[in-house]
Structure 1
Amino acid sequence: MGGGPVWSQDRAAVERQFQTWLNRDIWPEAQRAGVSPRTFEAAFDGVQLNWKLPDLVPPGSAPKPPKKQRQAEFGSPGKYFNRGSVDGATSVGKQMARRHKSVLDRVARQTGVPWRIILAIWGRESAYGRVAIPHDAFEVLGTKAFMSTRAGYFREELIAALQIAEAGHAPARAMKSSWAGALGQPQFMPSNYLKYARDGDGDGHADIWSSEADTIASIGAYLQRHGWQTGRDWGFEVHVPDAVSCTLEGPDQGRSIAEWAELGITRVSGRPFPKHELQGEGYLLFPAGRHGPAFVVTPNFYVLKDYNMSDLYALFVGHVGDRIQFGVGDFSASWGAVGGLLRSDVAAMQRVLESQGHDVGGADGLAGFKTRRSIGRWQEARGDAATCFPDPTIKAALVR
């Protein structure tokens, strides 16, 4: 085959290669992992390549150049907290809190993870099981393991999915996933299922597709195993005085919450920080730099990020959980109208900052905390007030 674009490939020939690869390459590895012929055959019965999935590189073809993408991080981060998403996750979450009170209380006692946090993750991942999970897991994982830009990763996940089917937790044809291969209501990748899925209803199986109790127990186990600190909150929205620079953001610049309070940082609620939190470590978080709400977060915030590596995701979960249990309102500070940049714009800024000695966490086009504070340090070095978030004016000054 030639090296042309994806859609010029002879699909029938690639399909034949796929079936040969399954039998000659994947089956021996699956067999070594304890998968029976019956399970393997059931998993791939009728399965063909899904050519609609993203990031495919069929044999003999060159990867297509990446498209420029707009992402929520680079519009106003406030878009992530749109009215419908926040209110929907909150209102249904309150219903689920009443419906599953006994299971939620039990899992919270067992894991130390507050039930409101478990609910908020469940709501964000699958709208409490109401979002359709449409794809056949073996079609998705087989396609991506055979011809994606991360084939090695998906090969491991494919073997893990076969082990799940072998254990009888779900029939092969009932294993539904997202387009990325994430399974069930908590959206676990198969390897995470093997580590963290739990039987919450006592029937002997961890059914994260149709059992709400199993879903609740599995999310709690995941967070517990990732280091959730019992008794600590996830964080607090705060007022940060102008004299405290946004360049102090980040999990590597922690101080005790008492020390942050001594610098004049206060909760927007007007209440003092809880006494039991004062000696614990906290970290500044400016998800939109000085253009939006600010927070002091705890190590538990970064446990939430282990579930999905996004500041906005972790913030959404913490915020919605608080709304469900405590009835809190919107953030006190508004989100500024920042954004209008492409990922490639941010990457160009990162490369310039790197050339000047800043640690931006890699020129990946993602405006994480290292990039945000590097922008702030660059601004301060110029004698400007730090805003710590990429915008067109900063790009024009940096990238010439």
Structure 2
Amino acid sequence: MIDRLSRLCLALLVLVLALAAAPVRAASLDAGFRAFLDGEIWPAARAEGVPRSVFDAAFRGVSPNTKLPDLVLPGGKNTVAEINFQSEFKSGADYLSERAIAPNVATARRLRARHGDLLASIERRYGVPAPIILAIWGRESAFGAAKIPMNAFEVLATKAYLSRRKEMFRQELIAALKIVADGHLKVSEMKSSWAGALGQPQFMPTKFLQFAVDFDGDGRRDIWNSVPDTLASIANYLKAAGWQTGRDWGFEAAIPAQVSCRGEGPDQAFRIADLVEAGVSRVSGRPFPGNELAATGHLLFPAGRHGPSFVATPNFYVIKEYNNSDLYALFVGHLADRILGVGPLQSGWKKTARLTRGDVFRMQEKLVARGLDVGAVDGLAGFKTRRSIGEAEAKLGLPETCWPSKTLAERL
């Protein structure tokens, strides 16, 4: 009885001490944050022509938002969250389900009819097809209907101070200050996503400064309220990223086992005619378009051998410049096809063992230790990680799936 009381008292003491220390830690974090803003961000902003009045207004009442993902708090390890918060890097079966796609198709078709002349004018100027523009608009902000409630300066400043990608977010924070200083928006109107992206096209601040356009001719690059500016800005972004007019984004394909999944990626190109000769075909049964046969394409296995596979064109990777996720680019490309009347994806997504982002992170570390190139060690199964998994599977005598598995994790 006495032992139990002693343990209970000790536990209560630990809790009281932890609660007492929490305000001290918060105050210390706030003080460091303020010193960071004044000592590092203000000099950089001033050098870019940002007035002190804009700087002060932007950060009045702002403190670090430690609820944001991918932060490294003082004294913490530079690692990744066990659970992945970003839908673009989760389950392809969910992200590309009919439940997710079908409502967007119906809305996009209505908007295509409503804005037909505008979209035709944008397509003539930038060379990007209207269905691709509409698909990005729908994915990014539900065609302008999504609520974007967060304080952009709180988000960007927190990430500039505490995220794993501090330098990137410092550049975005300075760009956000310039947007206000240039008169595009008031400080109170700078609302963003949890990642700091702005407006209906969800541009990061540096992308706004580079690619936002005034297509309606009112003197403002208004991606918050103007449909013409929003849609033209999306097209301008894709054109600048290298969109090839006249080419498709890609094709769902049946890729036989003798064509290795280790051959995927934008850095490995094949003549599409050669892929056809090797046994690759479209799942629709239709031939590849004649203009595509002589051009180069890329193998794409977004779920390794456990899901649909594709022959992607360079335009697929242009869409990835907008959002560096295979599933995002597939959503945009497939939605664009559906707007034109193409049916659902024909290949299914097989169920696999659920691994956390932390599990994949640790697997990547082991693959790197074996001399394999996984790209970034970030807990995300991108194309370099997938094909390195295929190489490891081949060396260990496992079936080549090019997808993270508990079996491979145990063998590594």
The answer to whether the superposition gives a TM-score over 0.5 is yes
Contact kept, 8 Å, 2:156 with 2:170, in 1: the verdict is yes
Alignment partner, residue 75 of structure 2: 62
- SS state at 2:311 partner: strand
| Change over 3 Å in CA distance of 1:373–1:23 after alignment to 2 | closer
Percent identity reads 52
Q: Structure 1 CA distance, aligned partners of 2:207 and 2:350? A: 37
Match of 2:115 in 1: 100
Structure-2 change in CA distance of 1:306 and 1:234 (3 Å): same
Task: Quote how far apart the aligned CAs of 1:383 are.
Answer: 4.9
Equivalent AA in structure 1 for residue 214 of structure 2: D
2:393 matched to which residue of 1?
Answer: 379
Q: 1:267 aligns with which of 271, 278, 282?
A: 282
Q: After TM superposition, list the pairs within 5 Å mapping 1:281-300 onto structure 2.
A: 281-300=296-315
- Secondary structure, in 3 states, of the residue corresponding to 2:188? helix
1:340 corresponds to which of 332, 338, 354: 354
What is the aligned partner in structure 2 of residue 123 from structure 1? 138
Taking a change above 3 Å as real, the CA distance of residues 375 and 271 of structure 1, as seen in their structure-2 partners, is same
Aligned length: 392
Mapping of residues 318-333 of structure 1, within 5 Å: 318-324=333-339, 326-333=340-347
Alignment partner of 1:199 is 2:214:
yes
| CA-CA distance at 1:350 after TM superposition | 3.0
Q: What aligned pairs does 1:307-322 form with structure 2 within 5 A after superposition?
A: 307-322=322-337
What secondary structure, in the 3-state scheme, does the structure 1 residue paired with 2:244 have? coil
TM alignment of 1:16-35, pairs within 5 A: 18-19=33-34, 21-23=36-38, 25-35=40-50
Equivalent in the alignment of 1:11: 26
The normalised TM-score by structure 1 is 0.89
Q: Which amino acid aligns with 1:295?
A: F
1:234 equivalent in alignment to 2:244 = no
Q: Which residue of 1 aligns with 2:14?
A: none
Cα distance, 1:307 vs structure 2: 1.1
How far did residue 253 of structure 1 move? 2.0
AA aligned to 2:277 is: E
Q: What is the DSSP-based 3-state SS (H/G/I as helix, E as strand, rest coil) of the residue aligned with 1:361?
A: coil
User: Which region of structure 1 is more displaced relative to structure 2, 380-389 or 126-135?
Assistant: 380-389
Does residue 180 (structure 1) correspond to residue 178 (structure 2)? The answer is no
The aligned counterpart of 1:212 is 227
Distance 2:30 2:386 in 1: 45
Distance 1:29 1:232, change over 3 A: same
Q: 245, 248, 268: which one pairs with 2:263?
A: 248
Match of 1:110 among 106, 109, 125: 125
TM-score (norm 2): 0.87
- The question of whether the paired residues in 2 share the 8 Å contact of 1:56 and 1:63 is answered with no
Q: CA deviation at 1:343?
A: 2.3
After TM superposition, the structure 1 stretch with the greater mean CA deviation from structure 2, 15-24 or 342-351, is 15-24
Of 13-22 and 98-107, deviating more is 13-22
Q: Distance in 1 between matches of 2:361 and 2:38?
A: 42
Aligned-partner Cα distance in 1 for 2:164–2:89: 24
372-381 or 248-257: bigger deviation: 372-381
2:153–2:173 contact (8 Å) kept in structure 1: yes
Shift in Å, 1:216 = 0.6
Shift of 1:41: 3.8
| Structure 2 unaligned blocks of 5 or more | 1-17
**Contact 1:76-1:338 within 8 A present in 2 as well:** no
Per-residue CA deviations over 1:113-171 (Å, capped at 9, x if unaligned) read 11111111111111111110001212222333344443333222111111111111112
Mean alpha-carbon deviation: is it higher for 251-260 or for 16-25? 16-25
> How far 1:89 sits from its partner (Å)?
1.9
Which amino acid in structure 1 is aligned with residue 82 of structure 2?
K
Q: CA deviation at 1:243?
A: 2.4
- Work out which of the residue numbers 259, 276, 285 in structure 1 matches 2:291: 276
- Offset of 1:313 from its aligned partner? 0.9
Q: Deviations for 1:296-341, whole angstroms, at most 9, x for unmatched residues?
A: 00011111111111111111110011111x2222111111112411
* Structure 1 pair 360–202 and aligned structure 2 pair: CA distance change class (3 A): same
Q: Which segments of 5 or more consecutive residues in structure 1 lack a partner in the other structure?
A: none
Write the letter of the residue equivalent to 2:130.
W
Alpha-carbon distance in structure 2 between the residues aligned to 1:109 and 1:143: 41
Query: Once the 2 structures are TM-superposed, how far is the Cα of residue 293 of structure 1 from its aligned partner?
Result: 1.0
Superposition CA RMSD, Å: 2.6
SS state of the match for residue 296, structure 1? strand
